């Protein structure tokens, strides 16, 4: 529907920006940090773009004060970052590393001193390596207890200062990439193992939320879900059904479990039919029902357009990790759906559909299905940026973010409760599989795949644009 006038963004709207520990911190073996599965994975030849790793990343560990000063100057209201589990429990789940805890004390205090709300992610994909070696990490029921212990430790330490918590970041991504596509650690290709690991992750997520509540802390907690809403390519009923299948299997399979504490029946039935259903226990569902989130965190980048796929149709595709436009080989699940080209939207150089209306649709679907407030925990454009005479003219990023923020305002006007909007990312950072050439930040970091150079920071044009958006609480969009 078209509105005659858009509502204003609410007072106190969290205009934020985000990062993740492995992608920015560096200092991979400093101050008692243990090894995470990503520290190991990036050392296997051929796994990442040009063999890039996060050993130094953008050195946020040593430069966080400089980075927070840039945020403060911009007027940022919220900064979302993740805690590296391997800094807190480096070698086992019994001994806590005080120096690891102190690093995040310093970051949180620096943010608060500059009136920036910390939004803390417990887990952004970097499980300690010893948990993988000891019992296969997410594939073991033991992870539920260990994740809860880790979560409780950081809740107790920072709960007096942190009011927004994100439990798991993009469970759908780390599980599907880790256990189906084998592009993330532990690089397994086995759907049965994937759904089992996913079930334990579901219960661990809810157990951590339940623990948070039991501590009586003031604050809100929810997962961040990577939602790419499905569109049918046309009005042929079988394609509409394929789009339904896509959202059931790629979105509701996760979000229903978070928000309702149960699996969507259509998907559970499909899992059973294909002998893919995880082993569950009745007490798991008690935890799932008791650990529902306060908000749904949403990471939105693009939509997906789909069509029907026969039982002997295409399987897993090949994403574009090179930045060569048009190199994506779209895949699907035989008998369920296949992804196809959407001719109506522009694409990035990594072939991601640029679709601000899709964000409004995403927010509305979540609102209708779950009625939960939504925190947009990521949204942004990965592109090549050029540093020229100390400046970066990223008008394409301004356009992208402006259109998406406007779509958020439209959704708010539609009646959706949105707590805040965090762009991805604050500074440029390491893209897990795309190296340093795919940039997302407001702040350019001068480094590339070959060398960290001096890691000098430069404000992009988008930095100044967002400063004004924040100053005017979105009135200038
Ligand atoms: C999200 C992740 O999937 O998308 C981020 O939470 C990631 O960690 C971001 O960097 C962008 O993805 P990519 O592959 O372009 O770096």
Query: How many helices and strands in the chain, by DSSP H and E?
Result: 16, 14
Nearest atom, ligand 1, residue 352 CA: 15
Helix (H) or strand (E) holding 192: helix 191-214
121 C-beta closer than 6 A to ligand 1: no
20 lines ligand 1 (CB under 6 A): yes
Please give the pLDDT value at position 192: 98
Q: Quick count: other Cβ atoms within 10 Å of Cβ 315?
A: 11
Q: If DSSP codes are grouped into helix, strand and coil, which group holds residue 95? A: coil
Judge whether 418 and 298 are in contact, CB under 8 Å. no
Report the pLDDT value the prediction gives residue 356, as an integer from 0 to 100: 98
ipTM above 0.90 for this complex? yes
Is residue 169 within 6 Å of ligand 1 at its C-beta? yes
Backbone phi, then psi, for 17, in 5-degree steps?
A: -155, 160
H helices of 215-281, in order, are 237-247, 253-260, 265-273
The predicted pLDDT at position 403 comes to 98
Q: Is the dihedral of CA 74, 399, 120, 107 positive or negative?
A: negative
Residue closest to 230 by CA, chosen among 218, 209, 245, 219: 245
Atom 13 of ligand 1: nearest residue by CA position: 431
The tens-digit pLDDT sequence of the chain (477 residues) is: 899 999 999 999 999 999 999 999 999 999 999 999 999 999 999 999 999 999 999 999 999 999 999 999 999 999 999 999 999 999 999 999 999 999 999 999 999 999 999 999 999 999 999 999 999 999 999 999 999 999 999 999 999 999 999 999 999 999 999 999 999 999 999 999 999 999 999 999 999 999 999 999 999 999 999 999 999 999 999 999 999 999 999 999 999 999 999 999 999 999 999 999 999 999 999 999 999 999 999 999 999 999 999 999 999 999 999 999 999 999 999 999 999 999 999 999 999 999 999 999 999 999 999 999 999 999 999 999 999 999 999 999 999 999 999 999 999 999 999 999 999 999 999 999 999 999 999 999 999 999 999 999 999 999 999 999 999 999 999
For residue 229, report the distance from its CA to the centre of ligand 1, in Å. 17
For atom 14 of ligand 1, which residue has the closest CA?
Answer: 431
CB of 323 sitting under 6 A from ligand 1: no
How long, in residues, is the chain? 477
Ligand 1 pocket residue status of 434, Cβ below 6 Å? yes
Give the burial string for 316-330 (b: 16+ CB within 10 Å, else e): eeebbbbbeeeebeb
> Rounded to an integer, what distance in angstroms lies between the CA atom of residue 197 and that of residue 101?
28
Q: What is the pLDDT at residue 187?
A: 97
Residue nearest to atom 12 of ligand 1 (CA): 431
How far apart CA 419 and CA 327 sit, in angstroms, is 37
Q: What is the set of active-site residues?
A: 170, 378
Give the residue carrying structure tokens 């290709």.
Answer: 189
Q: What is the pTM of this model?
A: 0.97
pLDDT at 82: 98
> Strand, coil or helix: what is 114?
coil
**Max Cα distance, the chain (Å):** 62
């Amino acid at each position: 529907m078209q509105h005659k006038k858009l509502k204003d963004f609410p007072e106190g709207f969290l205009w934020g920006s985000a990062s993740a520990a492995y992608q920015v911190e560096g200092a991979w073996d400093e101050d008692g940090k243990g090894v995470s599965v990503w520290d190991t994975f990036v050392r296997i030849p051929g796994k990442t773009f040009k063999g890039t790793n996060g050993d130094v990343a953008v050195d946020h560990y040593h430069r966080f004060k400089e980075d927070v000063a840039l945020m403060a100057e911009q007027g940022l209201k919220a900064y979302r970052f993740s805690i590296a589990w391997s800094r807190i429990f480096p070698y086992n789940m019994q001994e806590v590393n005080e120096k690891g805890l102190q690093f995040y004390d310093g970051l949180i205090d620096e943010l608060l001193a500059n009136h920036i709300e910390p939004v803390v992610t417990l887990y952004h994909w970097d499980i300690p390596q010893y948990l993988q070696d000891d019992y296969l990490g997410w594939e073991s029921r033991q992870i539920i207890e260990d994740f809860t212990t880790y979560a409780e430790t950081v809740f107790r330490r920072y709960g007096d200062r942190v009011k927004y918590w994100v439990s798991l970041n993009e469970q759908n991504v780390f599980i599907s990439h880790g256990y189906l596509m084998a592009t993330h650690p532990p690089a397994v290709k086995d759907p049965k193992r994937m759904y089992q690991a996913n079930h334990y992750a579901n219960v661990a997520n809810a157990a951590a939320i339940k623990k948070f509540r039991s501590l009586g802390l003031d604050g809100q907690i929810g997962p961040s879900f990577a939602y790419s809403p499905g569109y049918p390519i046309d009005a042929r009923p079988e394609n509409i059904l394929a789009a339904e299948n896509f959202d059931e299997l790629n979105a509701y399979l996760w979000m229903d479990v978070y928000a309702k504490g149960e699996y969507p029946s259509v998907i559970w039935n499909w899992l059973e039919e294909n002998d893919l259903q995880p082993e569950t226990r009745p007490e798991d569902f008690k935890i799932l029902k008791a650990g529902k989130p306060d908000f749904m965190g949403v990471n939105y980048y693009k939509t997906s357009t789909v069509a029907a796929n026969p039982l002997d149709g295409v399987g897993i595709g090949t994403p574009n990790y090179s930045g060569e436009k048009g190199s994506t080989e779209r895949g699907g699940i035989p008998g369920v759906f296949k992804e196809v080209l959407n001719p109506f939207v522009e694409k990035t150089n990594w072939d991601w559909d640029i679709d601000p209306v899709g964000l409004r649709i995403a927010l509305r679907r979540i609102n209708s299905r779950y009625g939960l407030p939504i925190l947009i925990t990521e949204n942004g454009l990965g592109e090549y940026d050029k540093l020229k005479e100390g400046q970066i003219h990223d008008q394409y990023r301004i356009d992208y973010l402006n259109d998406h923020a406007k779509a958020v305002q439209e959704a708010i006007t539609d009646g959706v409760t949105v707590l805040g909007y965090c762009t991805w990312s604050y500074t440029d950072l390491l893209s897990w599989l795309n190296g340093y050439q795919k940039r997302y930040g407001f702040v350019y970091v001068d480094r590339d795949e070959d060398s960290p150079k001096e890691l000098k920071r430069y404000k992009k044009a988008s930095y100044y644009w967002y400063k004004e958006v924040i100053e005017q609480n979105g009135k200038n969009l």
